[in-house]
A and B are shown apart, each in its own frame.
Chain A
Amino acid sequence: MSSTAPPATLPTVAEADADEGHAYGLWRDTLRNILRQRSARLGLLLIGFFVVVAFLAPVLATFDPDKGMLDLGEIGAVKRAPPCIHLLGCPADVPQHLLGLDGNFRDVFSRIVYGARVSLFIGVVTVGVAILIGTLIGLVAGYTSGRTDNVLMRLMDILLGFPSLILAIAIVTVLGRSLVNAQLAIAIVAIPLYARVMRSTVLSVREQDFVVATRALGESPSGILFRRILPNSLTPIVVAGTLGVAGAILDVAALSFLGVGAQPPLAEWGSMIGLERNQLFSAPHLVLAPGIAIVITVLGFNLLGDGIRDALDPRLNR
């Protein structure tokens, strides 16, 4: 073989196209396309809002999220007190709690604020784990085809043979009730989705000329797989992953609601609702406040995911 090795990073097809057109790079171009979508902008706005809330939680929270008013020395605290905002005409002699108190005399607003940290972390990490494993499986299955492909995809079919939440409950029962295990269960259940998306993308990408060319240049199979095919197969995964964050937040909240996810006293929105669901008729704010927080966060990721899909999927550009 000749000693002149191929350059370490050949520009990908997409990069070459982008460079020819105008002076912007691929990333900047993509970002501009995404930001052109109204739903993506709105989604980013909502997510950004909760990211800021999560970062500034210690500043924004008016009380310790895990301690009751009795421990904090507030006199006259009422169990499950409704929201009291002085600016909106709540009597000044009643202590101010923007979203009221819960069954343990804890300030609901502060718990919601800290809950933003928990939910964002849950969403991103859970999907991250699922994507990592799912992508790897899809990559290997799509590239090797044949028997390996068959075995891997039948395994995925078995996971898909269950309604996701029921399998997740079963897994979490085996692993033990905790937030981490709930995340792991939701991640496992989500793996087949990413594996399938990745596999179908790889099947089309691996036949493209630049991959054939790389192979002709003597690149190793793993090099072809990770340096050529993977970077060019990421778009559908990015779309599925963004929408997946929304789903993961919903699913982990559902497990926590059922009591097999986040455990008290952690301020997690789903478990906040689960703990107070029987007080719905007397203290609806305890269900509404965390409920709305979940809806807005999930909405943000759904909108962003839709926007990215519309921006990146050429078939939808009309």
Chain B
Amino acid sequence: MIRYIARRLVASIPVLFGVIALVFVLARVIPGDPCRSALGERATDEICAAFSARYGLDQPIPIQFLGYLGQVLTGDLGESIQRSRPVTDILMERLPVTVELTLFALLFATVGGILLGLVAAYRRNSPGDVGVMIGANFGVSIPVFVLGLILAYIFAVVLKDTPLALPPSGRLTPGLSVVPIAIAWGMPDLAGPLRAFLDFLSNMYVVNGLLTLNGALLGDALRHLLLPAIALGTISLALIARITRSSLLDVLGLDFVRTARAKGVAERSVLLRHGLRNALLPIATVVGLTLGGLLSGAVLTESIFNLSGVGRAVYEAITGRDYIVIQGFTLVIALVYIFVNLLVDISYAFLDPRVRLG
């Protein structure tokens, strides 16, 4: 097992290198002058020369690349041109938002999708099954941004003044303050990696609310997270429901299921322990595959619901030609993505002992 993981890690090094190179090249060939987009159109040539020297933009491209590579390997992602702040700082601020959103969308999609798929497979060809499958077809066909806007309209306008009303934008009701976990736990002097980790968690407001037992924060954060998570997770939910249904139908048609039924195993147990347990492998594959889609969809969801996450940061950086931020963020997103795919592969071994990691 450990050997397999190690081999996979080694095998992903060339891909990582390629990703870094591609990001670097893309960020360099984006048209437009970074100096003038950061300092304004009226910046003089002397100021721009100093600007280029400061950010190393006057060096030859290969030298810039080697320098960049060295930085990345030491965990330094450079300093934002537009904001004059280290990219890692901005990342620590933005990444928790996206991680929280993506995790909730994934939770919604996985739990909801497996449940719907179970019902559809168990009551095959019933009105419920047909309904789930029609819904799933619509679910994979509706763009994230259309669903997000429609949900915002329904829950913020149509259902306004009812208990079901939900906020259409932002992460918290204005006025609600967020206390970093470290401070709430009475450790304001804590520093180092642990503090950084706690601060990262603090920026996930739901987690913060849970860990600091702050009910008001937790409730408000959840209410704000609900619509974006549903909008983002629906496509994945539909895909997972479909694969759960078909995978379960495959398994339920096998001999050992008939044997289980014949010897009088309770139907519930047949469905869950014999059926679902053995149908999980294709489901895990689809769950892993949808993660890329979720990260893509996060750009759109964050834009619609006004969430200052990574996706929106990348978009803003690209429109503002902030090379350093584009490089850093795209790189980290790709890293997360590759790492998650590795986790999915490894999870196969746990789900199905027949899969030999070779």
Chain B residues with CB under 8 A of A174: 26, 29-31
Q: Chain B interface residue count: which class?
A: 35 or more
Taking each of B19, B297, B300, which has the highest tally of chain A beta carbons within 10 Å of its own beta carbon? B19
Q: Which of A4-12, A96-104, A160-168 contacts B (4 or more CB under 8 A)?
A: A160-168
Interface readout for A267-305 with B: 1 if CB under 8 Å, 0 if not? 000100110010011001001100100111011001100
Please, which residue of chain B has its CB at the minimum distance from the CB of A155?
Answer: B18
Say yes or no: A253 contacts B30, CB within 8 Å.
Answer: no
Contact of B143 among A164, A250, A277 (CB under 8 A): A250
Residue B50 lies at the interface, judged by CB distance under 8 Å to chain A:
no
Assuming A258-B303, A303-B137, is B149 touching A162 (CB within 8 A)?
no
Assuming A174-B26, A257-B300, A295-B138, is B315 touching A169 (CB within 8 A)?
yes
Say yes or no: A258 contacts B300, CB within 8 Å.
Answer: yes
Provide the bound-state CA to CA distance between A239 and B214, in Å: 51
Say yes or no: B300 contacts A254, CB within 8 Å.
Answer: yes
Chain B residues with CB under 8 A of A298: 141-143
Provide the bound-state CA to CA distance between A296 and B143, in Å: 11
CB distance from A83 to the nearest CB of B (A): 16
Interface positions of A from 128 to 173, Cβ below 8 Å from B: 154-155, 157-158, 161-167, 169-171, 173
CB distance from A134 to the nearest CB of B (A): 17
Say yes or no: B157 contacts A281, CB within 8 Å.
Answer: yes
Provide the bound-state CA to CA distance between A245 and B318, in Å: 27
Interface readout for A248-263 with B: 1 if CB under 8 Å, 0 if not? 0010011001100000
Chain B residues with CB under 8 A of A170: 23, 26-27, 30, 318, 326, 330
Taking each of A154, A155, A161, A291, which has the highest tally of chain B beta carbons within 10 Å of its own beta carbon? A161
Residue B153 lies at the interface, judged by CB distance under 8 Å to chain A:
yes
Provide the bound-state CA to CA distance between A157 and B113, in Å: 28
Residue B145 lies at the interface, judged by CB distance under 8 Å to chain A:
yes
Q: Chain A interface residue count: which class?
A: 35 or more
CB distance from A21 to the nearest CB of B (A): 27
Please, which residue of chain B has its CB at the minimum distance from the CB of A296?
Answer: B141
Chain A residues with CB under 8 A of B311: 166
Residue A246 lies at the interface, judged by CB distance under 8 Å to chain B:
yes
CB distance from A279 to the nearest CB of B (A): 11
Chain B residues with CB under 8 A of A250: 141, 143
Provide the bound-state CA to CA distance between A34 and B318, in Å: 44
Residue B304 lies at the interface, judged by CB distance under 8 Å to chain A:
yes
Assuming A161-B338, A174-B26, is B15 touching A295 (CB within 8 A)?
no
Residue A58 lies at the interface, judged by CB distance under 8 Å to chain B:
no
Residue B348 lies at the interface, judged by CB distance under 8 Å to chain A:
no
Say yes or no: B300 contacts A165, CB within 8 Å.
Answer: yes
Residue B227 lies at the interface, judged by CB distance under 8 Å to chain A:
no
Say yes or no: A161 contacts B142, CB within 8 Å.
Answer: no
Residue B156 lies at the interface, judged by CB distance under 8 Å to chain A:
yes
Residue B248 lies at the interface, judged by CB distance under 8 Å to chain A:
no
Contact of B295 among A39, A166, A291, A303 (CB under 8 A): A166
Taking each of A166, A174, A318, which has the highest tally of chain B beta carbons within 10 Å of its own beta carbon? A166
Say yes or no: B318 contacts A254, CB within 8 Å.
Answer: no
Provide the bound-state CA to CA distance between A253 and B147, in Å: 13
Provide the bound-state CA to CA distance between A246 and B141, in Å: 8
Assuming A280-B149, A302-B140, is B156 touching A162 (CB within 8 A)?
no
Provide the bound-state CA to CA distance between A298 and B137, in Å: 10
Please, which residue of chain A has its CB at the minimum distance from the CB of B32?
Answer: A173
Residue A176 lies at the interface, judged by CB distance under 8 Å to chain B:
yes
Provide the bound-state CA to CA distance between A318 and B300, in Å: 40
Provide the bound-state CA to CA distance between A162 and B21, in Å: 13
Assuming A165-B297, A169-B315, A169-B318, is B145 touching A254 (CB within 8 A)?
yes
Say yes or no: B300 contacts A154, CB within 8 Å.
Answer: no
